[in-house]
Each structure stands twice: as structure tokens, then as C-alpha cells.
Structure 1
Amino acid sequence: MLDEANDRYRAPALDKGLDILELLASTDESLTQAEIAKALNRSPNEIYRMLDRLVRRSYVARIMGDRYELTLRLFSLAHQHPPVRRLVSQALPIMRSFCKTAEQACHLAVYDRGRVVVVAQMDAPSYWSYSIRVGARVSLYNTGSGHVLLAFATPQERAMMEAEREDQAEDKLRPDGLDRRLVQIRRDGYEVMPSVQSEAVYNLSAPILGPNDTAIAALTCPFLPRIDRPNVPGREEVLAILLATTRELSTALGRGEGSA
């Protein structure tokens, strides 16, 4: 983060608008103008004009008379960014094939400013599925996707990723032995771990590799065992399908020919 005292090119109005967007993005509930002003330690009058502009530009919506929430405009802009658009465009047909073969859901995640962000998701073909919504931001430390992205980063990238985490209070959640675990994941080429969020679910995660064998994304299957259909693929079989899928995606997205 820039030291504000030494930042010669500050744009206070822009900072104010970005503060509002980041605040609304961090909460699941709409906020009043007074609540926004209090959270940002500003006066309601300071916030009013900026909120009005954000509403007029469709970044923020006014609901229930006096409450504000984010629209999907920022989400849409993010997906117009060429690398993300190309990644999702190339991945979706291959992800669909995985779900059909494995009879499980899957999601595609990338690293963004200290968090893992889900950029694409595909449901299982049956009525029963466990999935995570597109746009969800999850931890580097307690998800299969996060472990894979850390394991397949260079040491310099990994140090930057951990330093950049937005919620520094999360330090206490760094698992003991994580470094050893990341070495093992890099060696195996995948992560298999019980979900920290849901019982009976296992995260099966593997990297989509770019040049130099660094991960540009992680593909994760939140594997949910089916006891009503004994002939569906089991966990080991689904893992093998997942690894074949990530190899195909790595090739489709231009992994260097010299990579192993």
C-alpha cells in the first residue's frame, strides 16, 4: 500500500469512490449513506455526491429508498479483461466435459490481491451438486485452490502472494506445516484435502500451468460422494479425470512446449 504522506499524485475524489466500492464489496448487505460515511470515517455530505455519481454510472444501485449496494458492473468489467476472458472462454467447454464424465461439479479459480477468486463454475449434470458461486473470494490457506496456486508459484511470487493478503488477521489461520504441504503438492501435481467448510466434501485441485510450470489458475472439484449410485466415478477416478482435464487446459492456454 502506498504511503499516503509520500504520495504526490493523490486524487482524493477517486480515493473516496474506490473506498466506497471496496466497502460495498466487502459486505453482503446493503448500506445506508450514514453507514457508509461512518465506516469510512467521513461525513454524510462528503459521501453523497460520490454515491450519486456511482449510481448514475451504474456501479452502485440505490434500493429500498435509502440503501446502496454494488451492481454487477464491476464484475462485468473484470470479465472483459482479456486474460480472464480468454481463460474462461477456453476453460468452459473443457470443464463441461469434466463434469459430464466425472459427474461432479468444478470451478476455476485465479489469484487476485491476496485472495483466490472463482472466475468460472460448472454444475454436475445430476440434480445433486456441491458448488461455489462465480465471484466468490476465498482463502489461500484453507482451500485446495489456494494451496495449488501457492505450491505452483515461484518463491518470489509466493512471498508476494502471502504479503498481499488483504485480511492480515488471517495470519493465525496459516496451517502448521504448510510449507511442507506445498512441497508435497508440487511433487504430486495436485491437492486432495477434506473441505474446511463442509463435511463429507473433499477438495480435489490441480494447476493449470503456463510457461515455466507456474500456475495461471487452479481447477477444483468439490468431490461429493454419491451413496445412491454406486457406479459413478469414485474419488481416485475423479482425480485422474481432473488431472487429464488440467493437462488439456494447460495445453489449450499455451503452456510452453518444453514443459514437462
Structure 2
Amino acid sequence: MIAKDTIPRPGAPALEKGLDLIEALAAESRGLSQTQIAERVGRSVSEIFRMLGVLEERGYVSRDAMTGEYTLTLQLFRIAAQFPPTKRLQRAALPAMEILTSQTGLSCHLTVLNNQQFMVVAQMDPEWQMGWSVRLGAIFPLTLEYASAKVLAAFQLENRRAELAAVIARHDRCPIKNVLAELSKVVARGGDFPKEGQAPRLRAFSCPVFETSGRAIAALTVPLMRQEKMQATEATEIEENLRTAARQISEKVGAVGT
């Protein structure tokens, strides 16, 4: 008897070509010309010309009339946001995030794992925006540089945590044991709360949002960029407000004992 995994599956060349184009554009922060896209996906310009036209017509990519460069739109994010768990998470999070921005005077954002990256699925700015914020739908790599990445990786079941730690270790080019040790510290603290002297200009406070299994389905993060040192009382206040907001969101999505 032939195992299911060894049975050849029929290919879908057109679909694969379209996905290659989307993934190539997603990996770039700036636009790409047809020639550059063709080079990245290993195809000729003539092979991708019609596919780019279809993607543009369907709203997945946009073309700059001046430069001719293509960029990925937020269409994929809009589709993902319609997925019931994402909409439920957003509904649960936004009221608590609004209160958090009011209390701290800082922006905050909610991120979820997206394969080997993480994505911003909700974002809130205070009434008077004076700080640093991220764009809704933005995607970032899993690395110890980001508080959200550490929290999302740390608060997982053991096997999944090890998988994500390996991804971080490859990206940061460091031993996996160092990554696991850092993630253990995050778990022990209940989140990532940088001390004074760490990244003095750009800092981020991040807490997990839990689901019923006890794993983190999201990270709620408050980024902060400033020139002067932060008073210990101010950092403590941000941390406490953040913990409260993350707990409220967790309770709304069904987690208990958070």
C-alpha cells in the first residue's frame, strides 16, 4: 500500500506562478519592476506579464504609473481579516486597546503569527499622536529584536515554541539555546518589559493574549521612542496598564485564569 504522503499530487502551474509573484512582492518594502520580479521568481518577463495584469485587475497588486513598479496591496490582509477568528480577536481587542492608548498616551498594536513571521492585525493611536506606531497589516520577521516576536514565540506549547525558536535562531544567527533561554525569561516575566538602558531610544512593552489552550494567539504591544530616560514609575504604569488590557482581551476570547 502506498502511503498518502508519497502519492504525487497534480500541479497547478498558474496558481504556483501567481503565488510566487505575491511572495516576491511581500518580501520587499519597496516596489519592483517587471524585470526585478522576473529575476526573483526565476521566470521571464513574458511569463509573468499577464499574471501581473490579473493580480492588478483583482486588486492584489498596484502599479505606479510613473515608475512602472509593482507593490503588494492590503487585499490579502483584508481577506485574512474576514476570517472569523481574526474578526473575533479584533472585536475583543479594540475596546481594550482604546482604553490603553488613553491611559498611556501611546499607540499600541496587536500581532499574530503568520507562518515564520508575525503580522499586525489591529492598531490604535492616541488622540494626540506623539510617539511611534506601526502600520496595520505590516509583516515582520521573527527575531529577538522585536518584543512581539519574543512573546508570540515564548507563550506556545513546547513543540511549537521549539519550532519558532529555531526560526529565530536562523534569522539572528545565534545558538538556539540562547533563544530558548531568552524565551524562558519572557515566560517568567509574563511578557517582555525592557529595563532602562536596553534600546534607550526604541523600546517596546509586550504581553501575550491567551486562548483556551493556554497558548498565545496574539501579542499586545506598546512601542515607545523617546530621547530622554524613562522614569521607573512611568515604565511600571505602562506595564500594569498593558497587562490589564491583555488580560481583558484574553477573557473576551475565552481564556480562563489569565
- Could you state the TM-score of these two structures normalised by the residue count of structure 2? 0.85
CA offsets 1:87-120 (integer angstroms, 9 cap, x no match): 1122111100011012221111111111121111
**Residue in 1 that maps onto 2:109:** 107
Mapped pair 1:202 → 2:203: yes
Asked if 2 retains the 8 angstrom alpha-carbon contact of 1:211 and 1:255, the reply is yes
**Residue in 1 that maps onto 2:50:** 49
Give identity over the alignment, percent. 34
SS in 2 for 1:93: helix
Q: Which whole-Å CA distance do the structure 1 matches of 2:27 and 2:195 have between them?
A: 27
**Residue in 2 that maps onto 1:144:** 147
**Residue in 1 that maps onto 2:234:** 234
Give 1:127 deviation, angstroms.
3.8
Asked if 2 retains the 8 angstrom alpha-carbon contact of 1:121 and 1:132, the reply is yes
**Residue in 2 that maps onto 1:184:** 185
CA offsets 1:115-157 (integer angstroms, 9 cap, x no match): 1211111123334111121222223322111111121101111
**Residue in 2 that maps onto 1:59:** 60
Residues 50/87 of structure 1: CA separation in 2 closer, same or farther (3 Å cut):
same
Asked if 2 retains the 8 angstrom alpha-carbon contact of 1:111 and 1:217, the reply is yes
Give, as a single letter, the amino acid of the residue that structure 1 aligns with 2:213: N
User: Relative to structure 2, which stretch is displaced further, 32-41 or 212-221?
Assistant: 32-41
**Residue in 2 that maps onto 1:248:** 248
Q: Which whole-Å CA distance do the structure 2 matches of 1:85 and 1:42 have between them?
A: 37
Q: Which whole-Å CA distance do the structure 2 matches of 1:142 and 1:7 have between them?
A: 41
Q: Which whole-Å CA distance do the structure 1 matches of 2:100 and 2:57 have between them?
A: 42
SS in 2 for 1:211: coil
Give 1:169 deviation, angstroms.
5.5
Asked if 2 retains the 8 angstrom alpha-carbon contact of 1:79 and 1:85, the reply is yes
SS in 1 for 2:137: coil
Give, as a single letter, the amino acid of the residue that structure 2 aligns with 1:109: T
Q: Which whole-Å CA distance do the structure 2 matches of 1:195 and 1:44 have between them?
A: 52
Give, as a single letter, the amino acid of the residue that structure 1 aligns with 2:151: V
Q: Which whole-Å CA distance do the structure 2 matches of 1:144 and 1:210 have between them?
A: 19
Q: Which whole-Å CA distance do the structure 2 matches of 1:121 and 1:151 have between them?
A: 22
**Residue in 2 that maps onto 1:26:** 27
Give, as a single letter, the amino acid of the residue that structure 2 aligns with 1:119: V
- Could you state the TM-score of these two structures normalised by the residue count of structure 1? 0.84
Q: What 5-or-longer segments of structure 1 have no aligned partner?
A: none
User: Relative to structure 2, which stretch is displaced further, 62-71 or 189-198?
Assistant: 189-198
Q: Which whole-Å CA distance do the structure 2 matches of 1:196 and 1:111 have between them?
A: 29
Give 1:241 deviation, angstroms.
0.9
Give 1:67 deviation, angstroms.
3.0
Q: Which whole-Å CA distance do the structure 2 matches of 1:135 and 1:51 have between them?
A: 22
Q: Which whole-Å CA distance do the structure 2 matches of 1:69 and 1:169 have between them?
A: 27
Residues 138/175 of structure 1: CA separation in 2 closer, same or farther (3 Å cut):
farther
Number of matched pairs? 251
